[in-house]
Amino acid sequence: MSKDKLVADIYCIEPIPCNPCETSCPFGAIQVGDDITNLPVVDEDLCRGCGICLAICPGLAIRLIQDGYKDGTSLVAFPYEYEPIPEKGQTVRVVDMQGNELSDATVIKIQKPLKDDPTRVVYVEVDSAVAAEVRSMKRIKEAAEEDIVICRCEEIGMKEILTAIEKGDRSLNAIKRRTRAGMGLCQGKTCSKMISRMICEQTGIAAQDLEPASKRQPVNPITLGTMASTADRPLILDLDDLKRELES
């Protein structure tokens, strides 16, 4: 860890065939060698702290770090691929490799090292006592709620469902009527458990007290040919025949 400048710190943990950090470095500061499964090594004397390797690493396993940035603080930079991007001067919560929160940090600047890559690099000033553990920052809650799709059939996001719960909806059917979540082709097979958990977390209602959502028939999509009746192929009359038809 350098006290004079930002240098790349690579924390690859497995020897896998990967070397874009080496090939992308314009200063030759990263070496993998002839064996592409070697773990990369950084030459701190050659590293300029440009951040290109952070954006290009497919495993997001590189950061920049400078010890002694100010009295008692260090400067740490890490790749960040979520929206919205934090703003300069904003206070964020930095996290370790397992996602555990470490402390507050102040955003110093945002950089986009590669023109054709959306990955940003976030520079934060953080207490030197935790700088060695910093790997990223906690996602901004509002953004996470807004862009996580819960009902894929109807493209309903988490924020819309939480808003419905805040307005008083306390059942899957009530959520369905307000947002259409669960009305799609799968009839809630994918999203009903997530919506149920959200209702329970927000209201304190026990899971066993939630009524199941109503479903329109057929529960499983079937073809018109399956439903058609002809002289030599009568309409399927029992569930066993229907199951065999769906599996064929």
pLDDT at 84: 84
Mean pLDDT value of segment 13-31: 92
183 and 86 both lie in a single domain:
no
Of 83-92, 138-147, 152-161, 190-199, which gets the smallest average pLDDT? 138-147
161-176 pLDDT, tens per residue? 999 999 999 999 999 9
Mean pLDDT across the chain, nearest whole number?
86
104 and 157 both lie in a single domain:
no
Any residues with CB less than 8 A from the CB of 108 and at least 6 apart, and which? Answer: 75, 88, 123, 124, 125
Residue 99 lies in a domain: yes
pLDDT at 56: 92
SS (H, E, C) 152-205: CCCCEEHHHHHHHHHCCCCCHHHHHHHHCCCCCCCCCCCCHHHHHHHHHHHHCC
For the cut 60, the answer to whether the pLDDT of residue 237 exceeds it is no
Answering whether pTM is above 0.85, one says no
26 and 128 both lie in a single domain:
yes
Answer with the residue of higher pLDDT: 145 or 216.
Answer: 216
Domain of residue 212: give its range.
148-216
127 and 155 both lie in a single domain:
no
Rg (CA), the chain: 26
Q: Starting at the edge strand that comes first in sequence, how are the strands of the sheet with 91-95 ordered?
A: 7-10, 62-70, 73-80, 120-127, 101-111, 91-95, 136-137
149-158 pLDDT, tens per residue? 899 888 898 8
Q: Which of 90, 63, 85 has the alpha carbon at shortest distance from 9?
A: 63
Q: Of the residues 74, 103, 138, which one is the last residue of a structural domain?
A: 138
Mean pLDDT value of segment 227-234: 57
pLDDT at 82: 86
Residue 143 lies in a domain: no
pLDDT at 73: 95
Q: How many domains are contained in the chain?
A: 3
For the cut 70, the answer to whether the pLDDT of residue 231 exceeds it is no
Residue for token pair 């603080």 = 73
99-115 pLDDT, tens per residue? 899 999 999 999 998 88
- Which CATH number is 188's domain given? 1.10.10.1100
Q: Of the residues 138, 158, 175, which one is the last residue of a structural domain?
A: 138
